[in-house]
Amino acid sequence: MKKASPHFIKENYKFILFVSGMSVKSLRAIENIRKIGTDYFNDNFDLQIIDISKDQAAASKHQIVAIPSLVKESPDPRRVIVGDLSDTTRVLKILEITE
């Protein structure tokens, strides 16, 4: 998959990453989504990280059942990806980011 050029990503993406503490999987997911954001979204994204051990209500509100989970809030359609986000091709496919 080709890297999206800056002119390709025109909308500001909003993500919420749900983690549990600073586990290895949580840290890997944070690192991976930040790299994806830099490489494919030209830093045109907002990332909110929620630790469910400190904010269980947010996890319940977003119906999170597994950790780590990435929620794409906008643009529509809403998407949820479970896992450490290490498979960039899969993540981009689920987010519908292709050239």
* Distance from C-alpha of 10 to C-alpha of 13, rounded to nearest angstrom: 9
What local confidence, expressed as pLDDT, does residue 69 receive? Answer: 97
Report the predicted TM-score, pTM, of the whole model to 2 decimal places.
0.85
Helix, coil or strand: residue 12? coil
Q: Which domains does the chain have, with CATH numbers?
A: 18-94 (3.40.30.10)
* Distance from C-alpha of 38 to C-alpha of 41, rounded to nearest angstrom: 6
What local confidence, expressed as pLDDT, does residue 7 receive? Answer: 41
In order along its 99 residues, the chain shows pLDDT tens digits of 444 444 456 678 999 999 999 899 999 999 999 999 888 888 789 999 999 999 999 999 999 999 999 999 999 999 999 999 999 999 999 988 864
**Percentage of the residues of the chain whose pLDDT score is greater than 70:** 88
**pLDDT tens-digit map of 33-60:** 999 988 888 878 999 999 999 999 999 9
Please calculate the CA angle 79-65-89 and round it to the nearest 5 degrees: 40
